[in-house]
Structure 1
């Protein structure tokens, strides 16, 4: 039976959680915008309108983290206030136990967990994949953005491009191209090309490439076991820059939803190693486990809020930050163990939820005995 007290507590939690999630989401989205704005607007020269699309696609990703954290903060603040105002004691005097008082909030945590599961397993990975595709398509519509002067372009796999200046007729001066090799982790490039002038540029969108006509060319080839190989050429035509190289062709776990990952694991491609398949499986389990954060954190947050017995928001905010950091830390540790043991990784990913359930049960019993 849904009592008036249930509606009262649920309304308090809902309003507080809404504002907490809103504030945290704005902070997280703005942080990501400031982090990526240089690459989006300077290096990739994306239009300003793309920032709006970027925010919309990034919002589901941020909600996966802000919903559990905001809900935890709301639980701590509201139950701390109810406890300090003796409202919890009044309900218990009327014959309601702590578990009964907390039941609508735990049910709300379950509903939020299902929402997070949908976001985490379906919406968030699709948003990441769609954002990458949209950014690539925007770039492909105007491939000359790749050659904006004064910016080191790093979007082509295995290459770094730098242009000194651009003329009014869209020709360039001072063309520098560094070849990094397939792994891109070497400290030194494996090759270098300099051209005094880029006299002609032919964008070819059908085959996704730029054909350049270079003049005043200087070439260098580096090899640790051999002397530097150098050479000069009056002209090179065409010099090909493959645009498709800027679009990652590797299958990444964070851009596939759980259904796609399950299908991939059922029929694995031949080019994926056992270690890579284990990484996909671990990502699928991590999403499911992490989605139950609102319910797990509510088990801990309710008795902690009762024990705080303060009206100050600083107490609840600080406590929610500490609990959330410890909870998220377990997932970071689990991610670090992926290379050693898949079974250990899966176990560690469920440890935070089980630990919150055990700790919450202990704190509930202790609070019941103290009353």
Structure 2
């Protein structure tokens, strides 16, 4: 009589290129609460953050209703971007809590499924939401925010001048190799304009030290940037060339003169957008401008904002891991408890993010640390909870 060997159930391995029946089931269960969360959180956010303020402006400062409606819809993308990570947390917490409450997790684990395998669909969905959030925050949110701001300012007849009107000062630096072979940063040009009317600069003085052994001084009544030629057109001015001994080597007066200089002063004079109104490419342009003018404080801030633009979408992954792990714990609670836990986790995460952002702006943390510490802390916490739950 042959003995029957009792085999252990085979462990299921996650394959992202093959969607099993279980994966489809879990992803379907995640999708509905996720969509509910996006609708709920974005509605709450836009109501508290935009709707009430627009209603107040309609009643107190006579903001036209059609303009208010336009601004309202332009502000919705911002609150959808806020809702994506919150909805990921809510969806994973609700779905795995329901599986735990209905004993479906016990049945799946009895069939050989590990917690790591069961969490994979949620991690996969969280990564997809992370990529979606990044694309959404780059392509749609900054443009919508900027359009909403300018539309509201124009409608309220506020100070819609998007530029600095007076005392535009620009300093430029160059990298020069010294006699010791080391590269050092030296001042190459100072550009000053007394006024800017949105089209041209007036009352200009330019000190140019870029040519070795010579100092060039340009004084002009006005200057305008020629877009097609990529250079400045100065009007009614004088060029002084000063030799190393301090004497004037040459004096040249002109009615109009095209001069090849960087457009940095014009960029400084134009309206500075808020970082939430810029994508990464625009932030990098602002960083290059700050570096060229020697504004270390602004350059540091731009580096921080660039890192935050990269790190913020990963909140979706963090919340997905934490929500899944907490939901797998044995419990007999309903959807209301899941919603309350979501609020607490969201509050804690954004509190840590606010503290790190403040420490980053104070230069106590580097830009990378300030932007990424909340993400790595969240992933570490999720990994710890998952490890403890799998024992």
Superposition TM-score tier, normalisation by shorter sequence:
0.5 to 0.7
Match of 1:45 in 2: 62
Distance in 2, Cα, partners of 1:23 & 1:108:
19
Distance in 2, Cα, partners of 1:366 & 1:111:
26
Instruction: Determine if the alignment matches structure 1 residue 125 to structure 2 residue 150.
Output: no
Shift of 1:308: 4.9
Asked whether the 8 Å contact 1:278–1:342 carries over to 2, the reply is no
Structure 2 counterpart of 1:57, from 50, 64, 74: 74
Distance in 1, Cα, partners of 2:198 & 2:365:
44
Asked whether the 8 Å contact 1:330–1:349 carries over to 2, the reply is no
- Following superposition of structure 1 onto structure 2, how do residues 2-81 of structure 1 map, counting pairs within 5 Å? 2-37=19-54, 40-42=57-59, 45-81=62-98
SS at match of 2:366: helix
Distance in 1, Cα, partners of 2:66 & 2:294:
37
Match of 2:275 in 1: 253
Asked whether the 8 Å contact 1:303–1:363 carries over to 2, the reply is yes
Shift of 1:114: 0.9
Asked whether the 8 Å contact 1:13–1:78 carries over to 2, the reply is yes
Instruction: Determine if the alignment matches structure 1 residue 304 to structure 2 residue 326.
Output: yes
TM-score normalized by structure 2?
A: 0.63
CA deviations 1:148-206 (Å, max 9, x no partner) are xxxxxxx3499xxxxxxxxxxxxxxxxxxxxxxx9xxxxxxxxxxxxxxxxxxxxxxx9
Match of 1:216 in 2: none
CA deviations 1:45-69 (Å, max 9, x no partner) are 3321123222221111111211111
Match of 2:309 in 1: 287
Match of 1:360 in 2: 382
SS at match of 1:310: coil
TM-score normalized by structure 1?
A: 0.66
Q: Which has the larger radius of gyration?
A: 2
Distance in 2, Cα, partners of 1:87 & 1:256:
46
Distance in 2, Cα, partners of 1:39 & 1:284:
34
Asked whether the 8 Å contact 1:41–1:48 carries over to 2, the reply is yes
Shift of 1:39: 6.1
Q: 1:126 to 1:271 in 2, by over 3 A?
A: farther
Distance in 2, Cα, partners of 1:121 & 1:327:
22
Match of 2:102 in 1: 85
Asked whether the 8 Å contact 1:300–1:359 carries over to 2, the reply is yes
Q: 1:249 to 1:207 in 2, by over 3 A?
A: closer
Match of 1:348 in 2: 370
Matched length: 272
Distance in 1, Cα, partners of 2:60 & 2:290:
36
Superposed CA RMSD in Å reads 2.9
Structure 2 counterpart of 1:327, from 342, 349, 363: 349
Distance in 2, Cα, partners of 1:54 & 1:312:
37
Asked whether the 8 Å contact 1:57–1:128 carries over to 2, the reply is yes
SS at match of 1:338: helix
Asked whether the 8 Å contact 2:38–2:84 carries over to 1, the reply is yes
Distance in 2, Cα, partners of 1:4 & 1:276:
53
Q: Which runs of 5+ in 2 are unaligned?
A: 1-17, 162-166, 168-196, 200-269
Distance in 1, Cα, partners of 2:89 & 2:364:
30
Distance in 1, Cα, partners of 2:357 & 2:279:
18
Asked whether the 8 Å contact 1:113–1:295 carries over to 2, the reply is yes
Match of 2:359 in 1: 337
Match of 1:186 in 2: none
Asked whether the 8 Å contact 2:300–2:367 carries over to 1, the reply is no
Instruction: Determine if the alignment matches structure 1 residue 101 to structure 2 residue 129.
Output: no
Shift of 1:35: 4.2
Asked whether the 8 Å contact 1:282–1:346 carries over to 2, the reply is yes
Q: Which runs of 5+ in 1 are unaligned?
A: 140-145, 147-154, 159-181, 183-205, 209-247
Shift of 1:31: 1.0
Q: 1:71 to 1:276 in 2, by over 3 A?
A: same
Shift of 1:282: 1.1
